[in-house]
Amino acid sequence: MRRRTLFAVATVMVALLLICGCTGTTQPDTPVDTEKQQLRIATTTSLYDTKLLDRLSAIFEEEHNAEVLIVSAGTGKAIEYGQRGDVDVLMVHDRAREDVFLADGYGTNRRVFAYNYFIIVGPESDPAAIKGLQPEEAFTAIREKGMAGDADVIFVSRGDASGTHSKEKAIWKSAGFNYSTDVQGSGDWYQEAGTGMGATLSMTNEKQAYTLSDIGTYLAYKGDLDLVTLVDEGDILLNVYCAMQINPEKYPDINSTIAKDWINFMISDDVQKEIASFGVDQYGQPLFYAAQDDWEKIGVTLAEVTDPVL
Amino acid sequence: MYEIIEGFLEAVELIITLDPDVMAISARSVIISFAATIFATMIAVPLGAAINFGTFRGKKSLINLIQTLYALPTVIVGLLIFLLISRVGPFGFMRLLFTPTAMIIAQTVLVLPIMTGLTISALSGVDPVIRDTLHSLGATRLQFLVNIMKEARFAILATVAVGFGRAISEVGAAILVGGNIMASSFMSSTRVLTTAISLETSMGNIPKSIALGIILLVIALGVNLIITTIQHR
């Protein structure tokens, strides 16, 4: 008799456990406010690490009664998420790969919303003497010293197929080197971090090495870094950010309406002003420039910076 | 050294003032890992019992395989679940990627081998005299199982604690399938203690990392205390 009661109690407990378990998983599926739309964005780390997107998404959420979910990854990974249809919007900075992505039909409605510049940063002592050089000359000098075995000269690469990594490869190419044979794996002087911009800057700081960074992330991290800007001039250093939506023809259940809202939001006058002034009070200079004012300078069409997507 | 002490003090402050960010991340960590542990327990205990009491060909190899999977790397679990639930994957239509549910699934899969294996050890560790007694008293199959389980309950409880520990401390799968999202609503966010520590450290917010690390350890300690209290009763 007692055994039977015990068994009954056990059964009830298992049933309770099951119920608890089930409610445990169903809860995350159903948002508290069902009215709210969710917008999933895969972004390059520089827009996230500078906290620009935190600021903008807060405004957007208020205006559109939406919830913005941001996954921060390098441009390469963000594009991969886009190709798999795992997000609604991409925010990236790698024109060449964006073009391929659009041509393959994965993306549509690209709009350019901001730009700034890449810089080469390094230790104040500047062992490779690159200060004030053109980017290509600076890379050549770092490689030369590094190959010669100067232990103080190290270049830390993002090494993660990000937009910044793409730019770095473009500079090596422009300097006349074959990236995979002349640079990658050519010696201890060239080290691939395989991580985001902020983490790469921290690593560069620890090693007192050189790296290529976007100016926004560098300024946001500057307070913690013992690194100075050594090269900041050269056309190749231009860094253009765009937003585009994943093509609803490829993935029909993508949230296309809210994705378009976001893109239009990014090129709206208010947000363009917000971008241009972001960080000025904290860092004494803007982290990003609004694309609308300078579309000619950054080599895009007027339509790409002003035409709302329909 | 100064940085560590300063970070530690700021960490204590973040904890004492119940910093809402830190509290939300901690609560989310506990909820996700606790749910994963419950699911894993519901699968691992019956499965472990079936393997332990069953007689079938390849039993030894199966146990060997399970024990090998104790070392299952978290990123491999993450990658596997990512490929399964990504939109183009077989379960993509469920739109689970970058949700807490995805993290629960990944952590369940992650702790399943170790919990199954330890359940087998717990059950096989029951004194053979008790088994023989049960048999000679003419216990039915169910009575036999219930009594063996009762004998092994402390060891099984320890198994649950190990599973929870592995779930809450892993970072590889959580970041791959969760995406480390900090959204405005609690249930849409996927930032947990480990992924937050990884991000905050990379962003140079050492005090916050230390605070989150302390909380992680305190949670582990709390779970251990609960388990030992029950065991010593």
- pLDDT > 90: what percent of chain B? 68
Question: What is the average per-residue pLDDT within A18-36?
Answer: 48
Q: Which among A69, A202, A251 is the nearest to B87, CB-wise?
A: A251
pLDDT of A4 reads: 53
Question: What is the average per-residue pLDDT within B186-215?
Answer: 90
Nearest CA to B202 out of A161, A155, A200 is that of A200
> Between these two residues, B232 and A123, which has the higher pLDDT value?
A123
pLDDT of A267 reads: 96
The tally of domains found in chain B comes to: 1
| Cα–Cα distance, A135 to A118 (Å, whole number) | 10
pLDDT of A30 reads: 44
Q: Classify residue B133: in a domain, yes or no.
A: yes
CB contact under 8 A, A68 and B185: no
Q: What is the pLDDT of residues B44-79, one digit of tens each?
A: 999 999 999 999 999 999 999 999 999 999 999 999
Residue B93 has pLDDT above 80, yes or no: yes
**Residue A197 near residue A45 (C-beta atoms within 8 A):** yes
ipTM over 0.90: no
Q: What is the pLDDT of residues B170-193, one digit of tens each?
A: 999 999 999 999 988 898 899 999
Q: How far is B61 from chain A (nearest CA, A)?
A: 31
Question: What is the average per-residue pLDDT within A40-65?
Answer: 93
**Over chain A, what HEC string results?**
CHHHHHHHHHHHHHHHHHHHHHHHHHHHHCCCCCCCEEEEEEECHHHHHCCHHHHHHHHHHHHHCEEEEEEECCHHHHHHHHHCCCCCEEEECCHHHHHHHHHCCCEEEEEEEEEEEEEEEECCCCCCCCCCCCHHHHHHHHHHHHHCCCCCCCEEECCCCCHHHHHHHHHHHHCCCCHHHHHCCCCCCEEECCCCHHHHHHHHHHHCCEEEEEHHHHHHHHHHCCCEEEECCCHHHEEEEEEEEECCCCCCCCCHHHHHHHHHHHCCHHHHHHHHHCCHHHHCCCCCEECHHHCCCCCCCHHHHHCCCC
What is the pLDDT confidence band of residue A140, given thresholds at 50, 70 and 90?
Answer: very high
Nearest CA in chain B to A31: B187
pLDDT of A3 reads: 52
CB contact under 8 A, B146 and A68: no
Residues of A in Cβ contact (< 8 Å) with B92: 84-85
Residue B177, classified by CB atoms within 10 Å of its CB into exposed (0-12), middle (13-18) or buried (19+), is: buried
Residue A24 has pLDDT above 50, yes or no: no
**Residue B45 near residue B113 (C-beta atoms within 8 A):** no
CB contact under 8 A, A17 and B188: no
Residue A139 has pLDDT above 90, yes or no: yes
Q: How much is the pTM?
A: 0.84
Q: Which among A3, A25, A67 is the nearest to B188, CB-wise?
A: A67
Residue A32 has pLDDT above 80, yes or no: no
Nearest CA to A212 out of A99, A71, A93 is that of A93
Q: What is the pLDDT of residues A183-222, one digit of tens each?
A: 998 899 999 998 888 889 989 999 999 999 999 999 988 8
CB contact under 8 A, B101 and A29: yes
Nearest CA in chain A to B145: A7
DSSP element (H, E) containing B9: helix B2-16
What is the CATH architecture of A37-115+239-306?
A: 3-Layer(aba) Sandwich (3.40)
CB contact under 8 A, A21 and B39: yes
Q: Which domain holds residue B42?
A: 29-191
pLDDT of B203 reads: 77
pLDDT of A34 reads: 56
Residues of A in Cβ contact (< 8 Å) with B89: 84
Structure tokens at B208: 């916050």
Neighbours of A45 (CB within 10 A): 28
Nearest CA in chain A to B104: A25
Domain holding B86: CATH number? 1.10.3720.10
CB contact under 8 A, B86 and A17: no
Residue B190, classed as helix, strand or coil, is coil
Q: Backbone phi, then psi, for B152, in 5-degree steps?
A: -95, 10
Q: Classify residue B77: in a domain, yes or no.
A: yes
CB contact under 8 A, B35 and A25: yes
Locate the domains of chain A by residue range.
37-115+239-306, 117-237
What is the pLDDT confidence band of residue A253, given thresholds at 50, 70 and 90?
Answer: confident
CB contact under 8 A, A198 and B204: yes
Mutate to test the interface with B, among A22, A86, A254, A258 (most CBs of B within 10 A): A86
Residues of B in Cβ contact (< 8 Å) with A221: 203-204
CB contact under 8 A, A71 and B187: no
pLDDT of A117 reads: 95
Q: Which among A21, A29, A36 is the nearest to B35, CB-wise?
A: A21
**Residue B196 near residue B212 (C-beta atoms within 8 A):** yes
Query: What does the angle CA B132 – CA B115 – CA B64 come to, to the nearest 5 degrees?
Result: 75
DSSP element (H, E) containing B217: helix B206-232
Q: Say which range, A21-25, A267-271, A287-291, B110-114, has the weakest mean pLDDT.
A: A21-25
Q: Classify residue B210: in a domain, yes or no.
A: no
CB contact under 8 A, B204 and A251: no
CB contact under 8 A, A20 and B87: no
Q: How far is A184 from chain B (nearest CA, A)?
A: 24
Structure tokens at A59: 């405004």
pLDDT of A21 reads: 44
Query: What does the angle CA A78 – CA A84 – CA A87 come to, to the nearest 5 degrees?
Result: 55
What is the pLDDT confidence band of residue A87, given thresholds at 50, 70 and 90?
Answer: very high
What is the pLDDT confidence band of residue B228, given thresholds at 50, 70 and 90?
Answer: confident
Nearest CA in chain A to B3: A224
| Cα–Cα distance, B41 to B108 (Å, whole number) | 9
Q: Which among A25, A202, A253 is the nearest to B101, CB-wise?
A: A25
Q: Which among A17, A84, A199 is the nearest to B202, CB-wise?
A: A199
Query: Which residues of chain A approach chain B closer than 8 Å at the C-beta?
Result: 3, 6-7, 10, 17-18, 20-21, 24-25, 27-29, 31-33, 36, 38, 40, 49, 58, 61, 67-72, 84-86, 195-196, 198-199, 202, 221, 224, 251, 253
**Could you tell me which residues come within 8 angstroms of residue A47 by beta carbon, excluding any fewer than 6 positions away?**
A53, A91, A216, A241
Residues of A in Cβ contact (< 8 Å) with B203: 49, 198, 221
Alpha helices by DSSP H, listed for B54-181, are: 59-68, 74-85, 100-124, 128-136, 141-151, 153-169, 172-173
A37-115+239-306 matches A117-237 in fold = yes
Residues of A in Cβ contact (< 8 Å) with B38: 17, 20-21, 24
Q: Classify residue B226: in a domain, yes or no.
A: no
Q: How far is A50 from chain B (nearest CA, A)?
A: 10
What is the pLDDT confidence band of residue B2, given thresholds at 50, 70 and 90?
Answer: confident
Q: Classify residue B196: in a domain, yes or no.
A: no
What is the pLDDT confidence band of residue B114, given thresholds at 50, 70 and 90?
Answer: very high
| Cα–Cα distance, A177 to A81 (Å, whole number) | 31
CATH of A117-237, one of 3.40.190.10, 3.40.50.1220, 3.30.930.10, 3.30.450.90: 3.40.190.10
Structure tokens at B1: 């050294």
